Structure 1
Amino acid sequence: MSTICVYCGSSSGTDGAFALMAEALGTAIVEAGHRLVYGGGDVGLMGIVADAVLAAGGDVIGVITEQLLALEVGHDGLTELEVLPNMHSRKARMAELADGIVVLPGGFGTYEEAFEVLTWNQLGIISSPVVFLDVTLGDAEQSFYDPLFDFIDGATAAGFMKPQHGVLAQRAVTPAEAVSIAAGPAPEFTRKWVG
């Protein structure tokens, strides 16, 4: 059994497609025989993913800060809830527990967490696959993560990262694909400053 970490919004977003994808991801984690670790909240996409895992009979470990728990956003129905003093220890603990990471849409906190673990992979501190689970909204000509991957491609083309590091950010369009990538091997490590 792998432990899949999910980073996602503490809001549900403005389109119902976000919530549907979060629920489907939670179900897919359990169907693949894995457990969930996440930020411990019962709000937004966070709560939807956790509830979907629990509803499917899976295990959920929440990792939350004392501050957030005091604001009463902690989920009280989890298999396990770890309460840590600050965001730094929370993020380190989630990465320690995770075999792989799936990133759903969210705000600054979601992307800060995702880019930190991508950086840790780039530096060889950890070796965990990171996959962004994309969401297509209605009749939109682009999917949610198109601009993010354009940005990563642009940073690579401009020489700010090696192509081997740009591909550390993987992408999936279905929950099953995202779980498969997250539970699989991480991309091969390439030293940042050599070669």
Structure 2
Amino acid sequence: MTLQAGSNRDLWRRLVITPVATGAMAAGLLAGAATAAAQPAEPTTTETPTAAAEDAPRSCTGDDCKRGEPEPAKVNADQVLMQIYTEYAQGDGGGQVSKLIDDAVNLRRQGFRPSNANAEALAAALEYRPHQTPLVEALRNTIAYQRKLKAQAALSASQQGPVAGPVPVIPGMTGSLG
């Protein structure tokens, strides 16, 4: 005759421990798969700097220092916005980036251009994709700057008074206009 009490306890342990262990193992596998890097670990270029270029002392003053060094490429804010807009143009159902880029482009169409710093931040944030947090932060900062410009424009327009100005009085005119 077999003892029934011991098998129930073992069955209960198997029913609880097996799913927990399986879940932990699956989470470990998923976490290991998520750490795959988007960039190669080593540079793919085979260029090596020459020893003469490294050893040559460089002394310069004023404009001489800037010779030979390429100017940093200026980022065009409109081009960066359009690039992001074409990639993420989904409308209201497209997610956070889609809504933010839609707001930024609408403000740009109203005449409120992002600053050069905003354009550089947007271009730099594109380098971090598929991670979208830097892009979301850059878009939020861009929209905040554009809204600040819009508020300043509205404030200056309200302080200037009416656009048409005073009504001219023409000699010989009789009657009221209103």
More strand by share: 1
More helix by share: 2
TM-score by length of 2: 0.20
TM-score by length of 1: 0.18
Higher relative contact order (CA 8 A, sep 6+): 1
